[in-house]
Amino acid sequence: MKIELSFAIVFATLGVGCQTPPVQDTIDLALLTISGVATGSDTPIHPIEGVEVSRDGQQLASVVITLDEFTGHLAISGVPLATSSIATPDKVLQHFGAPYWHDADNGEIVLFYERDGGSIELKFEFADVTSLAYITIARPGVLADPEQRSSYGVTKSWPPK
């Protein structure tokens, strides 16, 4: 962490434009954390406008980001990420690779990324091909439920490897 901060200070000093967003208002889509807190944790979270957090008992179970209301920051492995850089399915594929599953219905597109043998899900929902509407991080995710996999027509084996 000390090295990351040093690089951020050097880049800021050089005017490179690398500004690390405050952890408190950042959702990291690679680390699957909100304000530095991982899903499954019982640590309290500072509220962020446009983010709905749900808990299973005391543990963080899901984070839903409504992009048109979101006032926080996104990151990938600590590197700031502009929402415009993941605004389309093709751009999400560039950052995250092929999803475990995708669904396209009535003009809507959903990309499902499964982690840790399907125990954590990162989901991108597009209202149409140019408009990312929601990002969800859930433990467990929608596709962990066999009935949901069936309703989405999932043909891949479960759990994902």
Phi, psi for residue 39 in degrees, rounded to 5: -60, 145
Secondary structure element (H or E) that encloses residue 90, with its range: helix 89-96
Q: What is the pTM of this model?
A: 0.83
- In which band, very low, low, confident or very high, does the pLDDT at 99 lie, cut at 50, 70 and 90? very high
| Percent of the chain predicted with pLDDT > 70 | 86
Q: How far is CA 76 from the centre of its chain?
A: 9
Tokens 């926080």 locate to: 72
Residue among 12, 32, 38, 86 nearest 20 (CA): 12
Residue 13 is assigned to a structural domain of this protein: no
pLDDT at 17: 40
Reading the block at residue 75, the tokens are 């990151």
Q: Report pLDDT digits (tens) over 16-37.
A: 344 444 477 899 999 888 888 8
Q: Which domain holds residue 33?
A: 18-151
Residue 6 is assigned to a structural domain of this protein: no
Residue 72 is assigned to a structural domain of this protein: yes
Residue 157 is assigned to a structural domain of this protein: no
Residue 107 is assigned to a structural domain of this protein: yes
Q: Is the pLDDT of residue 15 over 80?
A: no
Residue 8 is assigned to a structural domain of this protein: no
Residue 99 is assigned to a structural domain of this protein: yes
User: Which is more confident, 64 or 105?
Assistant: 64
Contact 126, 109 (CB under 8 A): yes
Q: Which residue type, as a one-letter code, is found at position 62?
A: S
Strand partners, 85: none
Instruction: Give the count of domains, the chain.
Output: 1
Residue 5 is assigned to a structural domain of this protein: no
Average pLDDT over residues 107-115: 94
Residue 111 DSSP class? E
Contact 156, 116 (CB under 8 A): no
CA distances for 83 relative to 52, 70, 113, 132, 147, angstroms: 17, 10, 18, 9, 32
